[in-house]
Chain A
Amino acid sequence: MTIFVKEKELIVPGQILAEGNNYKVGNGVRKDGPYYRSVVFGIFTGSGNTISARALRGKYLPRVGDVVIGMVIDVGLTMWRLDIGSPYEGILFANNATTRKFDPVKHDARQIYDVGDVVRAKIIAFDRTKDPSLTTLERGLGKLTGGKIISVTPTKISRVIGHKGSMINIIKKYTKTNILIGQNGRIWIEGKSMEDEMKAIEAIKLVEKEALRQGLTDRIEQFLKSYDEVKNRNE
C-alpha cells in the first residue's frame, strides 16, 4: 500500500512504482504479484488510485474516435490507404468518404483523394486484427490544402494542446494562424504570412522540446508576446 515514486518522476521499464492490491492498473503499468511495475520509460502519473506511466516517446497507436492527419499512399478502386504515422495503415473506404453512392465503374477514386493528398480523418474502427478504418464524412474532416504540416512525437500532443486547449489557443492567438492537430502527432498550420507560420512552428517545437517543464504555457506566451510586439512595431 505504498507508492515508491513521486508524481512526474522519470521511471524506467521494470521499476516498481507501488506495492499493494488496491490501486487500479493504468496505462503503461503491469501488476506483478504485489507490485505495480512500469513497462515504459516515461513519467509516473498517479491520479487518484490509478497507477499509470506515460511514455516519453513512442509511435502513435490508433484509438477509435481519434482525429488524425494522414497522407494518401495508395488508391484502390473503392478505397484509399493512408499513412497515419502508426504501425498500421489507415483504410478509408469510399462509403466513408462520400455520402453519394460510389460506383467504381463510373467514378474514379482519384478524383476524390489522390496519392499524396493530406487528409484529416477520424478513426471509426480499430482492433488487433484489422487495420484502422477511417471516415472523412464529419464536419471539419477531409482534404487539407495550403499551409504547412509538421510532426511531433505523438506522446507530446497532449502538451501541445494544453489543458483544455490553453496552449494551442495561445499559439493561435499570437500568431493568428489556423492550426489543426491530429492525435497521431501531425499538425497542420496555416497563417496569413510565412512568418506567422514559422513562428507557430517554432512555438510548437519548443513545446515538444520542453514538454516536461512546469509552467510551460506561460513561457510560450512570453515567447510569442515578444514576437507580437516586434511585429506590431514594424507595422
Chain B
Amino acid sequence: MSDENNEFIRVDGRKKKELRPISIEVGVLDSADGSALVRMGKNIILAAVHGPRELHPKHLALPDRANLRCTYRMSTFSVPERKSPAPSRREKEISKVLTEALESVVLTHLFPRAAIDVYIQVIQADGGTRCASATAAALALADAGIPMRDLLAGVAAGIVDGEVVLDLCDVEDKEGTGDMPIVYSPMTDEISLLQLDGEFTIEQFEEALEMAIEGARKIYEMEKEALINRYKIDLEEEQDIGAEAEVGDTSEIEEISETFEGEELETELEEIEPDIEIIEDTELEEVTEHDEETEDDIEEIEVEIIGEEELEEAEEEQSVEEEVVFEEEQEIPTIEEQEPIEKEEIIEPSETIEEEIIEEEVIEPHETVSEEVPDVPIEESSDEMEPIPLTPGEEPEEEEDDNEEASDDVDPDTLEIAELEDKEEL
C-alpha cells in the first residue's frame, strides 16, 4: 500500500493518518462524582459519572458486581437538523456497546449490588461521536476514583476515495465507503469495541486497524496529561511550593494538545515526560504479539461482515471472548483482599486513645437520647445508654489514620511528640 503517499489530502485538509485537534478537560462538573469534556474536531462530548451508588430499582442489582449503566444521548441542537429528543434506535445501540466497552475495564466486582451510572451527552456532533464518548466516559470514571484496569481511547478509521484514513469527520463518514470505530486500551493492549460498516478488503482492514490503534495511543497520552493536569493546576495556583517538575510544563502540554500533528506530538510528549518512553518500550513487545492474535480473530469476522446486524453479532462474540479473559485476570489480588489486614489493626488503638482522652477533657455532653425520650420505657436504661453523651472524644478516628500512614505502633502517650514528628515528616 502507498503508506508514504502523504499527498492524499482530505476534505478538511488533513493527511491520511492525522487526527483532528483534541482537547480534554477533566472534572468539569461539581454535581457529578466524576466528569470529563472531550472536544475532538467539532465534536463536543460531556460525560458524567455517578457512583458507585445505591441501585434503584433494586431488582436490577447484580449479586456479584456493580451494574454499570451507560446512557448516550444526543442533544437536539447537536446536529444541523434538529434531532428529535426521543431516544433513537441509534442512541440505544451506542449506549449498549459503550456499556459493554466500559464494563471490560471497570472493576465492577468491587462494588457488588451497587450501580455505576455513566451519562454521555453529545453537545455537538461531527462524526465519530461514539469514539469520543468512550474516551470521555473512561476519563470521567477515572476522575470519579472508580478502579479500572486501564483507560480507553476511541478513534475511527475508514475508507474515503479508496484510501484508508484515520479519524473520520462527518462528511467523510457519510461519503466514504467504510467506517470502523474502535475503542482501545493501550496499556493492556485490548480492543473493547470494534464495529465496522461498509466494505473492506483484508488488507484495508489490517491497515485501518493498525492506524486506529496508533491513533488511540496518541489520544491516550493526551488523556493522561489531562488527568494529571487537573491536579497539577490545583497545586500551581499558589506558588510557594516548587512545582515538582517531573510531570512537565503544563503550558507546553496545553499548546500541544490543541495544535498537535501526528508525529510532532509524539516526540514532544516524550521529551516532556520520560516515563512514557519506558512504558512504551515494554509495551511494544506485547503489542506485536497481540496484534497477530487480533488479526486472526478479525479475519474470521471480516469474511462475514457486510450487513450491520451481522457486524453486531460478530462483535458480541468478540466481547464475550474478552470477558472470559478478564475474569481470569481479575483473580489477581486487588484492593479488597488487602483490606482485612488494616481492619485488624484499626480496632485496637482506637480503644486505648479514646479512653484516655475522655478522662482528660469531659466537656458537657450533648443532648442524649435519654433526654429526648423521657416518657418511653427506655428511660430506665438511660444509664446503660449513657455512652451516647457525646464527649468530645472525637479522637477515635485519628488512630485509623495512623494505621493508614504509619501502620504500626500507635502509642497514645506520644501524641504530643507525634506532632513534632509530623512537622518533620512534612
Binding site for B on A (CB under 8 A): 4-6, 9-10, 12-16, 19, 25-32, 35, 37, 39-42, 52, 55-59, 61, 63-67, 87-89, 98-100, 102, 106-108, 111-113, 120, 128-129, 136-146, 155, 157-158, 161-166, 168-169, 178-183, 190, 209-210, 212-218
B134 to chain A, nearest CB (A): 14
Pair B423/A120 contact, Cβ less than 8 Å: no
| Nearest opposing residue in chain A for B34, CB measure | A57
Q: How far is the CA of A80 from the CA of B275 in the complex (A)?
A: 51
Q: Which single member of A39, A55, A164, A182 contacts B402 (CB below 8 Å)?
A: A164
Binding site for A on B (CB under 8 A): 33-34, 51-54, 63-64, 66, 105, 107, 111-115, 142-151, 185-188, 223-224, 227-228, 231-232, 234-235, 241, 246-247, 275, 278-279, 282, 329, 332-335, 338-339, 342-343, 346-347, 350, 354, 358, 363, 366-369, 372-373, 376-378, 380-381, 384-385, 387-398, 400-402, 404-406, 410, 414-415, 418-419, 421-423, 425-426
Q: Which single member of B369, B380, B401 contacts A143 (CB below 8 Å)?
A: B369
A146 to chain B, nearest CB (A): 6
Q: Which single member of B332, B363, B396 contacts A30 (CB below 8 Å)?
A: B332
Pair A29/B334 contact, Cβ less than 8 Å: yes
User: Inside 8 A of A209's CB, which chain B residues have their CB?
Assistant: 234
Pair A112/B419 contact, Cβ less than 8 Å: no
A215 to chain B, nearest CB (A): 5
Q: Which single member of A4, A30, A87 contacts B279 (CB below 8 Å)?
A: A4
Q: How far is the CA of A27 from the CA of B342 in the complex (A)?
A: 11
User: Inside 8 A of A66's CB, which chain B residues have their CB?
Assistant: 346, 400
Q: How far is the CA of A155 from the CA of B282 in the complex (A)?
A: 32
Pair A32/B354 contact, Cβ less than 8 Å: no
User: Inside 8 A of A37's CB, which chain B residues have their CB?
Assistant: 149, 187
Q: Which single member of A16, A87, A169 contacts B419 (CB below 8 Å)?
A: A169
Top-4 shortest CB links A-B: A58-B145, A142-B388, A14-B150, A100-B381
Could you list 10 A-B pairs, sorted by A, with CB under 8 Å? A5-B275, A13-B142, A25-B333, A42-B145, A65-B400, A106-B377, A140-B391, A168-B398, A182-B397, A218-B426
Q: Which single member of B113, B235, B388, B394 contacts A213 (CB below 8 Å)?
A: B235
B360 to chain A, nearest CB (A): 13
Pair A4/B278 contact, Cβ less than 8 Å: yes
Pair A67/B144 contact, Cβ less than 8 Å: no
User: Inside 8 A of B142's CB, which chain A residues have their CB?
Assistant: 12-13, 40-41
Q: Which single member of B350, B369, B378, B395 contacts A107 (CB below 8 Å)?
A: B378
Known contacts A58-B144, A136-B388, A217-B426; A87/B397 CB under 8 A: no
User: Inside 8 A of B377's CB, which chain A residues have their CB?
Assistant: 100, 106-107
Pair A57/B33 contact, Cβ less than 8 Å: yes
User: Inside 8 A of A106's CB, which chain B residues have their CB?
Assistant: 377
Known contacts A31-B333, A112-B378, A165-B401; A218/B145 CB under 8 A: no
User: Inside 8 A of A210's CB, which chain B residues have their CB?
Assistant: 234-235
Q: How far is the CA of A146 from the CA of B342 in the complex (A)?
A: 33
Known contacts A140-B391, A178-B394; A4/B275 CB under 8 A: yes
Q: How far is the CA of A201 from the CA of B54 in the complex (A)?
A: 28
Q: How far is the CA of A78 from the CA of B414 in the complex (A)?
A: 43
Pair A165/B398 contact, Cβ less than 8 Å: yes
Pair B145/A155 contact, Cβ less than 8 Å: yes
Pair B398/A142 contact, Cβ less than 8 Å: no
| Nearest opposing residue in chain B for A6, CB measure | B246
User: Inside 8 A of B419's CB, which chain A residues have their CB?
Assistant: 164, 166, 169
Pair A142/B114 contact, Cβ less than 8 Å: no
Pair B234/A212 contact, Cβ less than 8 Å: yes
Q: How far is the CA of A97 from the CA of B415 in the complex (A)?
A: 32
Known contacts A57-B33, A107-B376; A39/B398 CB under 8 A: no
| Nearest opposing residue in chain A for B228, CB measure | A10
Pair A89/B54 contact, Cβ less than 8 Å: yes
Pair B396/A164 contact, Cβ less than 8 Å: no
Pair B111/A39 contact, Cβ less than 8 Å: no
Q: Quick one: which of B147, B332, B410 has the most chain A CB within 10 A?
A: B147
Q: Which single member of B148, B354, B400, B422 contacts A14 (CB below 8 Å)?
A: B148
Q: Which single member of A39, A161, A169 contacts B397 (CB below 8 Å)?
A: A161
A159 to chain B, nearest CB (A): 9
User: Inside 8 A of A169's CB, which chain B residues have their CB?
Assistant: 419
| Nearest opposing residue in chain A for B336, CB measure | A128
User: Inside 8 A of A128's CB, which chain B residues have their CB?
Assistant: 64, 112
B189 to chain A, nearest CB (A): 10
Q: Which single member of A108, A140, A157, A183 contacts B394 (CB below 8 Å)?
A: A140
B232 to chain A, nearest CB (A): 8
Q: How far is the CA of A4 from the CA of B347 in the complex (A)?
A: 34
Pair B187/A14 contact, Cβ less than 8 Å: yes
Q: How far is the CA of A132 from the CA of B381 in the complex (A)?
A: 26
Q: How far is the CA of A10 from the CA of B26 in the complex (A)?
A: 14
User: Inside 8 A of B426's CB, which chain A residues have their CB?
Assistant: 163, 214-218
B376 to chain A, nearest CB (A): 4
Q: Which single member of B54, B145, B390, B398 contacts A40 (CB below 8 Å)?
A: B145
Q: Which single member of A10, A13, A158 contacts B401 (CB below 8 Å)?
A: A158
Q: Which single member of A52, A58, A65 contacts B343 (CB below 8 Å)?
A: A65
